């Protein structure tokens, strides 16, 4: 399912060229409407790893009020039914693949759990190519690629960086050879000591595929690039779909390193907002594990999980990162604990009096709290972003 087409079919989401951007106030709701898309993406991703063995039958998304004693909760139940392809090639009857609850977004702003109101913040993350002092991470919603300390982590495996570079970067192509040499220098990677046969055997066993370079590259790309990840990279870096290759993404990462922009970590041009990716992260982790099993030949027909796993995830992992207050309090915003500034305010609140003008359109590392500097971020209420969280006109 194409995300942009789905957005255009939803009359509640802006579709014209001039109003395709969202304000901070309606970003949560625009993201919450993508639950169906994310579920489709999950099933398609698992299915393609093993001969397209499952397909969506139906997705049910319904609000379900529940009670724990006298305490009221408003939850959204998500049920994903699929058809399973039998060994004989005949599609079998439907089966429930996923069934879970998550907090319902009320009035585009808050959750109700145990009769408490939680106004969820919107998080700021690096754009999908994350540059750190000693690593490059190519982020994927299911299986990311990280180069660090002469190793590449992918699918839970530590791959020798020399194998990874040799798989995607040819010494016979000048641009690829130059990129490989830069990566070798940056990460102090040892020279190549293996044969072509060693390389193909290693990845062939890893992906359970033919020991052919082109097939191995296709397997790698099929695991890294799901539908959402493809669109995300296109939107964040103005790439055409034909340019979505591992070498091109590595080139962007290396270019950022070579530019030596020490302020990348506070520059909003390198950041994006996220909401549902954080809420649904336990589901994405499970899908990644199932997809890895699917790649090895297993046909998983359902995910056995605690239906309240996402609720527990909120309480255990996100609770301290969300504002617990009544709904009439300041509307919350970006990153961990944040507030909106009202447009045209002459005097900023005392809590941000120390913000310096040099940090406009930046994440200010100054904070009233000395324990977590830079954790709180402020922006105007009418600041605009697209549905992928990219800030507009920063």
Give the mean model confidence (pLDDT) for residues 193-205.
94
Instruction: Record the tokens describing residue 33, joined without a space.
Output: 């409407």
What's the whole-number mean pLDDT along residues 350-368?
Answer: 56
Which tokens belong to 45? Answer: 């991703």
Band of residue 335 on the pLDDT scale cut at 50, 70, 90: very low
**Chain centre to alpha carbon of residue 126:** 10
342, 349, 353, 363, 380 from 346: Cα distances, Å: 10, 10, 12, 21, 13
The larger pLDDT score, comparing residue 70 to residue 307, is at 307
Residue 13's pLDDT is 36
Confidence of residue 72 (pLDDT cuts 50, 70, 90): confident
The pLDDT score that the predictor gives to residue 131 is 87
Give the pLDDT confidence score for residue 70 in this predicted structure. 64
Distance between CA atoms of 207 and 49, rounded to whole angstroms?
Answer: 10
Q: How far apart are CA 319 and CA 312, in angstroms?
A: 9
**Full-model pTM:** 0.83
pLDDT over threshold 80, residue 372? no
Candidates 29, 39, 23; CA nearest to 111 is: 29
| Percent share of the chain, pLDDT over 90 | 48
CA distance readout (Å), 339 to 56, 105, 146, 285, 336: 40, 18, 33, 30, 10
- The pLDDT tens digits of the residues spanning 243-262 come to 999 999 999 999 988 876 66
DSSP 255: H
pLDDT at residue 9 tops 70: no
CA-nearest of 5, 48, 9 to 226 is: 48
Q: Regarding predicted confidence, which is higher, 69 or 120?
A: 120
- Do residues 221 and 236 make contact, with C-beta atoms less than 8 angstroms apart? no
Q: What is the distance between the alpha carbons of residues 392 and 373, in angstroms, rounded to a whole number?
A: 25
Check residue 103 and report its DSSP letter.
E
State the Cα–Cα distance between residues 76 and 33, nearest whole angstrom: 12
Q: Which stretches of 206-336 are assigned E, i.e. beta strand?
A: 271-274, 323-324
Please tell me the predicted confidence (pLDDT) of residue 345.
Answer: 52
Residue 90, classified by CB atoms within 10 Å of its CB into exposed (0-12), middle (13-18) or buried (19+), is: exposed
Asked if residue 347 has pLDDT above 60, the reply is no
């Amino acid at each position: 399912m194409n995300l942009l087409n789905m957005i255009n079919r939803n009359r509640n989401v802006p579709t014209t060229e001039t109003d395709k951007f969202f304000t901070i106030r309606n970003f949560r709701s625009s993201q919450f409407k993508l639950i169906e898309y994310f579920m489709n993406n999950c099933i398609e991703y698992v299915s393609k790893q093993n001969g397209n063995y499952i397909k969506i039958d139906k997705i049910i998304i319904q609000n379900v009020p529940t009670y724990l004693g006298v305490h009221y909760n408003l939850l959204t139940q998500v049920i994903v039914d699929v058809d399973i392809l039998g060994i004989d090639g005949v599609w079998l009857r439907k089966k429930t693949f996923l069934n879970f609850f998550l907090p319902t977004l009320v009035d585009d702003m808050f959750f109700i759990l145990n009769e408490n109101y939680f106004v969820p913040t919107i998080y700021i993350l690096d754009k999908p190519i994350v540059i750190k002092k000693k690593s490059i991470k190519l982020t994927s919603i299911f299986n990311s690629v990280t180069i660090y300390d002469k190793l590449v982590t992918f699918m839970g495996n530590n791959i020798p960086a020399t194998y990874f570079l040799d798989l995607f970067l040819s010494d016979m192509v000048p641009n690829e050879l130059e990129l490989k040499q830069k990566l070798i220098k940056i990460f102090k990677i040892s020279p190549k000591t293996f044969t072509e046969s060693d390389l193909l055997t290693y990845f062939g066993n890893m992906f359970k595929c033919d020991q052919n370079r082109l097939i191995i590259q296709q397997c790698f790309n099929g695991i890294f690039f799901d539908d959402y990840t493809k669109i995300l990279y296109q939107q964040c870096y103005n790439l055409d779909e034909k340019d979505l290759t591992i070498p091109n993404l590595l080139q962007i990462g290396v270019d950022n390193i070579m530019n030596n922009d020490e302020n990348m970590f506070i520059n909003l041009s390198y950041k994006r907002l996220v909401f549902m990716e954080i809420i649904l992260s336990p589901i994405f982790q499970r899908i990644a594990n199932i997809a890895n099993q699917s790649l090895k030949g297993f046909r998983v027909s359902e995910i056995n999980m605690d239906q309240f796993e996402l609720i527990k995830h909120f309480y255990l992992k996100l609770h301290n990162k969300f504002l617990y207050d009544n709904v009439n309090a300041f509307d919350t915003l970006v990153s961990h604990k944040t507030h909106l500034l009202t447009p045209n305010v002459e005097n900023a609140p005392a809590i941000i009096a120390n913000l310096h003008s040099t940090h406009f359109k930046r994440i200010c590392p100054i904070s009233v709290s000395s324990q977590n500097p830079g954790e709180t971020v402020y922006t105007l209420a009418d600041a605009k972003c697209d549905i992928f969280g990219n800030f507009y006109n920063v």
